[in-house]
Amino acid sequence: MTLDLFDDAPEAEPQRGKEAIGPGAFVLRGFALPSVGELLPALEAVAQHAPFRHLVTPGGFTMSVAMTNCGRLGWLSDRRGYRYAERDPQTGAPWPAMPAAFERLARTAAAEAGFEGFAPDACLVNRYEPGTRLSLHQDKDERDHGAPIVSVSLGMPAVFLWGGLARSDKPRRIPLAHGDVVVWGGPDRLRYHGVLPLEDRPHALFGSRRINLTFRKAG
């Protein structure tokens, strides 16, 4: 993966602030923007060591989202099921170490949302392109549901689906922009969530792509 960096490209004025979307869930508008200069080279390094790939679900469907991992544990899906593993099955090597800039952002965002002491050991990196979507699901493969989820949006805007504790609950539609961070935990930790199909609205740094960093305490 190569990112074209246009540092002097004009950007719309980003939103800032903290929006509650549940008793234990918040959207931190623009929170990641000061870290973007550190995140981009770190993201390049992760993708070089563990390239993006399209996983297969237990039902045999190929995911439209391309993904990779960094940290001690990486999330996987195949015909055998969903799980975490310490090694990349494509290479047999450990996943790339979580970059310091990634971990620092995850910790500070969690603290801003009221979850002090968050220590992620897994970062799932998803790459979205126009038309890519993520169906409603729960993050429930982790051993520790007491830790929050921290989700960082970079690149093209997306519509985040924020559901309830049952799949049948009607989800809210929450627009997310480059630099926004969503944090959820506590009573909201097992909420269903997803992403609507992306519209092609190119971003100055990422072009027709959206990168999502999802930090978890998995082990």
Token code pair at residue 199 = 């519209």
Q: In a 3-state reduction of DSSP, which class is residue 193?
A: strand
What pLDDT is recorded for position 15? 78
CA distances from 184 to 39, 73, 92 (A): 22, 20, 32
Q: In a 3-state reduction of DSSP, which class is residue 142?
A: coil
Residues 152/212, Cβ–Cβ less than 8 Å = yes
Q: Which of 64, 113, 109, 59 is nearest to 82 (CA)?
A: 59
pLDDT tens for 151-186 read 999 999 999 999 999 999 999 999 999 999 999 999
pTM recorded for the entire structure: 0.92
Residue identified by tokens 């269903």 is 192
pLDDT tens for 121-145 read 999 999 999 999 999 999 999 998 9
Q: What is the mean pLDDT of residues 99-114?
A: 98
Token code pair at residue 146 = 């007491």
Residues 93/85, Cβ–Cβ less than 8 Å = no
Q: Which domains does the chain have, with CATH numbers?
A: 19-216 (2.60.120.590)
Confidence band for 11, pLDDT divided at 50, 70 and 90: very low
Average pLDDT over the chain, rounded to whole? 94
